[in-house]
A and B are shown apart, each in its own frame.
Chain A
Amino acid sequence: MSSNLIILAIIVTSVATYISRLLGAFTSEKVSSTSETFKWFNCVAYATLAALLGRMIIFPAGVLAQSELITRLLVFVVCIIIYKITKENLVIPTLFSFIFLSTLSYLI
């Protein structure tokens, strides 16, 4: 693969990503944080992120697709419980998720 093609792909990826961000910044100029439009965008943003995470767990892409669905669900639920038990410490459940799924993937 030529170096020029890779550099072009990086530029294209960066531009395609920045467009959504910049359009969002332009739109934000006309949106007040107390408006109904803002509230709607807030709900859509959280829902979109949740949809992405739901898809990542149930229908993952990349290396995660090589693990079993049941193991991903198990790790996910256990880590959410750990997060609550540890009084909302983020480091412990995230580290645990790595160790737990790596181990399960090795064993199964």
Chain B
Amino acid sequence: MINLKIFLIGLKSLKGAKSPAIPLAACFIALGALLKDAGLNIQQSAASSLFTYALPGQLVMAESLLIGTSIINIFLAVWIVNYRLYPMTVSLFPLLKHRSQPKWKYYLSCHFLAVTSWLIAKDNHKKINQKNRIDFWIGIGVGTCTVAVITTCLGFLLADYLNKEMLIGLAIINPVYFYCMMLNAMKVKIILVSVILGTLLGPFFFLISSEWAILIAGVVAGTIGYLVGRIKYE
């Protein structure tokens, strides 16, 4: 059903100098502390990381609970924050597709789509035979999601010992780590243009619309990057 050898290769991507385990852990430790502040118990905090496994959406949920927002508004706010997972899935799953693999693997394993796992899979998928890439992806997903759940619990337990400065330090790890990982992909010209424009347009559109800034900036910058590649090709 799942090729164990390939699954373990995916799982082992958490080791080494490019390990996502430390930055991922730092982000979810900070989240665990925030979830405790929001009134969740340790089981609920772990369940949130296990079933949502998308840090920005979980942050929105925690902050919404703190200010007493309605459930419908939480749904809409989380959906708006996490819609970025849609283009990320479409830009990864065609690379993992194979006719011999059952569809349920794709429908269930898409739950593991998050920035960390996406960047690891984009960087390493070529090392794996196309037929087995979905098992490699499941290995990455199980590994990263497990780290997220364990460190959420750790953050919950450490909440009383973390001061403001330490929480600020933990929060910067996320963007630094993701940007370093993206530098590899920026060796391709169209990705370089897309990333630089996205970085500039994200904060710019935020001044116009805080809710839709990321979507608009992503589509505009990505389309310009794509067109730059087309012009070069033609």
Binding site for B on A (CB under 8 A): 1, 3, 5-25, 27-29, 31-33, 35, 38-64, 66-67, 72, 75-76, 79-80, 83-84, 88-91, 93-95, 97-103, 105-106
Contact = CB atoms under 8 A, between A and B. Distances in A.
Contact of A28 (B93, B177, B215): B93
Given A24-B88, A90-B177, 11 more contacts: A12-B74, A15-B75, A17-B78, A24-B89, A44-B87, A45-B87, A49-B218, A58-B203, A89-B17, A99-B169, A102-B169
Interface in B180-231: 180-185, 190-191, 194-203, 205-206, 213-215, 217-223, 225-226, 229
B17 to A, nearest CB: 5
B221 A47 contact: yes
A51 B61 CA distance: 21
B180 A12 contact: no
Interface SS majority for chain A: helix
Given A10-B61, A44-B218, A49-B84, A17 B194 contact: no
7 contacts: A3-B44, A6-B39, A21-B85, A47-B220, A52-B202, A58-B206, A66-B168
A104 to B, nearest CB: 9
Contact of A43 (B34, B171, B176, B190): B190
B58 interface: yes
B164 interface: yes
A16 to B, nearest CB: 4
Contact of A50 (B53, B79, B194, B215): B194
B182 A20 contact: no
Given A10-B51, A95-B22, A20 B83 contact: yes
Contacts of B154: none
Interface residues of B, number: 106
A84 B180 CA distance: 9
A50 B106 contact: no
A90 B13 CA distance: 13
A102 B104 CA distance: 44
Given A38-B94, A99-B169, A43 B191 contact: yes
B71 A9 contact: yes
Contacts of B78: 12-13, 16-17
Nearest to A89: B17
